[in-house]
Amino acid sequence: MDLQPSPSGRSSTVGRTSSFSVADSGGQTLSSVLNNPHAGKLEASWGWWSVAPPEFTPLTSTKAACDLTRSDFQSYVSSISDSYYRFEDIRNHTTKEQTLDVDNIGEALVACLREVPALYFKEDFALEDGGTFRAACPFTDVSENIILQEKLSHYLDVVELHLVKEISLRSNSFFEAQGQLQDLNVKIVEGCNRIRDLKETIRLVDTDLVDSARQIQELNASRTNLLALQHKLKLILSVNQALSALKLLVASSECAGALDIIDDLQHLLDGDELSGLHCFRHLRDHVVTSIDSINSILSAEFMRASIHDKGDKDSVILLKAKARASISLNGEDVGVNLDEEETTNFRDRLLPLIIGLLRTAKLPFVLRTYRDTLTADMKTAIKTAVAELLPVLVGQPLESDMGAERTVDADGGGLSLASKLRSLSSGSFVQLLAAIFKIVQAHLVRAAEVKRAIEWVMCNLDGHYAADSVAAAIALGAMVAESSQESNGQGGALPLSASLRSTSKVLSSPGKGSDAISPSNLSKNFRADVLRENAEAVFAACDAAHGRWAKLLGVRALLHPKLRLQDFLSIYNITQEFITSTEKIGGRLGYSIRGTLQSQAKSFVDFQHESRMTKIRAVLDQETWVEVDVPDEFQAIVSSLFDSEAIVSGSKDNAESNMTESYSNEGSQVGSVAQNEPTDSSSTTAVNAAQGKAEVIERKKSDAVTSSQSNNSNTKERGKNATQTLECGGVSYHMVNCGLILLKMLSEYIDMNHLLPALSLEVVHRVVEILKFFNTRTCQLVLGAGAMQVSGLKSITSKHLALASQVISFIYAIIPELRQILFLKVPEPRKSLLLSEFDRVAQDYKVHRDEIHTKLVQIMRERLLVHLRGLPQIVESWNRPEEADPQPSQFARSLTKEVGFLQRVLSRTLHEVDVQAIFRQVVVIFHSQISDAFSRLEISTPQAKDRLYRDVTHILGCIRSLPSDNSNNSATPNWGQLDEFLAQRFGAEAS
């Protein structure tokens, strides 16, 4: 074996012989290693010296200290040099080993695993196991087994050596920890002693000082607990008494006092004073139940005061309506407005109800319920009125114009409600509408009063004794409503008590949260919500009334277009008054009923127009174009047209204001509904409005007839029959039947335009259409000779053409007046387009008139050409000797006769200007055509020359007698080419 250092650092030679056994090696122990190797290290280190330490004796030197040199210590250094070098060598070796050992902790075990086979380190290593023994002892003889024993001893020494080395490397930490544990034990003992002393000191202090003070404190705590118990018992008593009072107040409908008690109880519930009291575990449920009961009471009282306490006004109205159905539409009606005292009492009655509903934040919900109830009550009242009045109205005498369309029993039995409504005459239907108008008005006035009362409470209580209560109620209700919305937004609906609790928390923590949920903003939002629901209730009632009214009109939608204008106007005007009154109460436009009324009015205009178009078409097809006498009523119509200049020049609506003067005076009371203060006779006035308008129109026309008759009497004195012509603008026109009928239709269109101003645009379109049709059809019948097929005329004569020209000229003359009257009600944006349409129609009439005049000229030219074609045969007879005949030839006599006949016809029918314009062209044609024909003739005999002279002279005499506006430098009338021809051929004789 090699030399191994001992644990103590000494090197010794251990001679291992072959007789070394396992028993000898097992006798070694590690007890010496467990001792602290550093204890007494300084003393034991001297054992390493092989020589005795030198004795240090003081050196004596005779030299001064400053004269000492290294050589003076040479003898000492040489004596200890060997020992010193050996000491340095051992110290360096130890330091190096310690450094290596610290760096290589655990390397010894790794080396042990490398030197010793892995077989001996298995966990299941056991020599008694056969396989393990054969692997460990593969030899069979004794000598080999001895060698194996030596090897095993060697393995054991290796393991032991490396274990000792590892233990030595870790011994420092072990003994250091052991020393720290010993110090900790000493400190623990000292701490226990100090604790024992402190406990003794505390016991002495507690005995001498603390016990008396603690006893005082305990007595004081007992006193506080007893006072708290007394307060809790008083609180329980007060809560119990409050619950009893709350039940009594709720039972007696004293909502204000009950809400005060609920506020106190809610404040207690929101705090901690009642927490833990088992007797009040159901208090919150009682509060919620009481609040629901109070809300029910307040809601019922509000409904009763707002709707159900209006009295029997509906019954009174129906009784009056039934009486008027058989008597008249005049008479006193039941009043529906409230005087100042009733208004004040009504507001005072609603004030506590509104305050209570504001405190519980239920006013918006109650107003929504009120809106539904008011709407249902409105519908029920209208339905009841229709059901009760229909049997009375159906039994009235039928109108002659509607009798063919209605076949019912005398009592109206066996018919459905719609059939009964359709079986009513227009007057009976207006009476039914008037009664409904009055009933609706009564309901809406009540609803408007409720609306104003709520607005007064919410906005106009400045200086009132309840202003502070209302403001506090609004603030509390706003916070409750906001808390309820937040609870609903979180996915669940909390009871009102929870909302109140959260409300109190919000109110008790001002400054938290944003400005959007500040109390002022919440109050504004809540106030706006209440006012919105308040307005919505009245508007919903108006809308329901509009819907029922529109439904009544819709049932008779097929009958109304076929009514006369006065009958339809009565229905239209009462509907218009109903719309205006209800819209001013509700505050919004009723688009549905306005649409229904506009649709029926348009249907009325369309039907009337179609009937007139059919009539004018039939009249034109049957027209024989014969002059007729003009009745005075048509002259009155024309006079009314030209009297309408006052409308344009003076007041734009002067004629209509005169026409509706009495209506305005009687209907002024209806307009008072705009201020929600309806009068007693509003609906009756609305019924009579249309009749008043129609009567004023007829009176206006009769005045025009009177003035026309006076003018006619003056003209009769001058010898002219005023009934044969129609005077328009100082010009007289000869008329035929179709022209008068068209004038009557245009007058009816003007009446529709005045009485239905909302449909003025539609009326203007229809007037343009009928004017176009009349002009086109007249052109087809006269100029196009269509009357020969449809009217049975044998030919179209100049008389027919002249009368057609007169009718066309008359319509052309009144078109500007029509335009001025019809365009008074047309909206400005549409005027330009319609004006251009009217201008085109007027231009078409002017062109048509000019074409008729051209046609008359063409007829005369054709007759001239016919005569000129026979002129050569006549001239041939002139050259034969015959008896002298002083008369002109047949050509000249026939031509002048036809010209004279045309002149007489046109002069009696057409205006002088038109006749002059026509004959001016005839004169030009005669001069050119006859002069050319005579120039081509061959005159060879004096007899022929004399005949030519007589004919030319005769024809020129006729030409000079014709009316013409031809102006030339010659003093001779209608001078032209034929005069020049005469002068050239017969110069001396002609002169």
**pLDDT tens, residue by residue, 762-795:** 999 999 999 999 999 999 999 998 889 888 888 8
Among residues 443, 306, 473, 445, the alpha carbon closest in space to that of 383 is found at 443
The pLDDT value recorded for residue 186 is 92
Residue 645 to residues 201, 821, 963, Cα–Cα distance (Å): 128, 8, 35
Three-class SS state of 727? strand
Cα angle 390-606-742, degrees, rounded to a multiple of 5 = 115
Q: Give the residue, 636 or 518, on which the prediction is more confident.
A: 636
**Whether domain 880-986 has CATH 1.10.3470:** no
User: Rounded to an integer, what distance in angstroms lies between the CA atom of residue 411 and that of residue 4?
Assistant: 148
| Backbone dihedral region for residue 911 (phi beyond 0: left; psi -120 to 50: alpha; all else: beta) | beta
User: Rounded to an integer, what distance in angstroms lies between the CA atom of residue 921 and that of residue 875?
Assistant: 27
Q: What is the pLDDT confidence band of residue 443, given thresholds at 50, 70 and 90?
A: confident
Assigned token pair, 46: 């001297």
The pLDDT value recorded for residue 485 is 55
How large is the C-alpha radius of gyration of the chain? 67
pLDDT at 433 over 70: yes
Three-class SS state of 141? coil
Calculate what percentage of the chain has a pLDDT beyond 70. 70
The pLDDT value recorded for residue 315 is 72
The pLDDT value recorded for residue 66 is 61
Three-class SS state of 504? helix
pLDDT at 630 over 50: yes
Question: What is the mean predicted confidence (pLDDT) over 574-597?
Answer: 85
Q: What is the pLDDT confidence band of residue 309, given thresholds at 50, 70 and 90?
A: low
The pLDDT value recorded for residue 643 is 74
Q: Give the residue, 797 or 333, on which the prediction is more confident.
A: 797
CB proximity list for 915: less than 8 A, separation 6 or greater: 903, 906, 907, 963
pTM: 0.62
Question: What is the mean predicted confidence (pLDDT) over 174-198?
Answer: 91
Determine which of 624-633, 916-925, 927-936, 970-979 has the lowest per-residue pLDDT on average. 970-979
Q: DSSP assignment of 147-172, as one string?
A: HHHHHHHHHHHHHHHHHHHHHHHHHH
- What sign for the dihedral angle of Cα 466, 469, 471, 474? negative
Give phi and psi for 503, each to the nearest 5.
-65, -45
Question: What is the mean predicted confidence (pLDDT) over 305-322?
Answer: 71
| No. of helices (H) and no. of strands (E), the chain | 35, 4
**pLDDT tens, residue by residue, 805-847:** 999 999 999 999 998 898 888 888 878 888 888 899 999 999 9
**pLDDT tens, residue by residue, 982-991:** 888 776 455 4
The pLDDT value recorded for residue 618 is 94
User: Identity (one letter) of the amino acid at 899?
Assistant: V
Assigned token pair, 352: 């506590």
**pLDDT tens, residue by residue, 452-488:** 878 777 776 665 666 666 666 676 666 666 666 555 5
**pLDDT tens, residue by residue, 693-737:** 444 444 444 444 444 444 444 433 333 444 688 888 888 999 999
Question: What is the mean predicted confidence (pLDDT) over 873-881?
Answer: 74
Assigned token pair, 850: 């000019």
Q: What is the pLDDT confidence band of residue 372, given thresholds at 50, 70 and 90?
A: confident
Question: What is the mean predicted confidence (pLDDT) over 611-639?
Answer: 91
Question: What is the mean predicted confidence (pLDDT) over 502-519?
Answer: 45
Residue 451 to residues 200, 317, 335, 459, Cα–Cα distance (Å): 87, 23, 19, 12
pLDDT at 50 over 70: no
The pLDDT value recorded for residue 468 is 63
Asked if residue 120 lies in contact with residue 155, where contact means CB atoms within 8 angstroms, the answer is yes
Which residues share a beta bridge with 628? 735
Q: DSSP assignment of 544-596, as one string?
A: HHHHHHHHHHHHTTTTGGGS-HHHHHHHHHHHHHHHHHHHHHHSS--HHHHHH
Q: What is the pLDDT confidence band of residue 582, given thresholds at 50, 70 and 90?
A: confident
Helices (H), ranges, 587-671: 591-622, 632-643, 645-649, 654-659, 661-671
Query: What residue ranges do the domains of the chain occupy?
Result: 105-211, 311-396+422-483+519-599, 623-641+723-852, 880-986
Asked if residue 876 lies in contact with residue 943, where contact means CB atoms within 8 angstroms, the answer is no
| 8-state DSSP, 785 | -
Calculate what percentage of the chain has a pLDDT beyond 90. 14
Instruction: Indicate the average pLDDT of the chain.
Output: 74
CB atoms within 10 A of CB 377: 20
Determine which of 57-71, 81-95, 215-229, 761-775 has the lowest per-residue pLDDT on average. 57-71
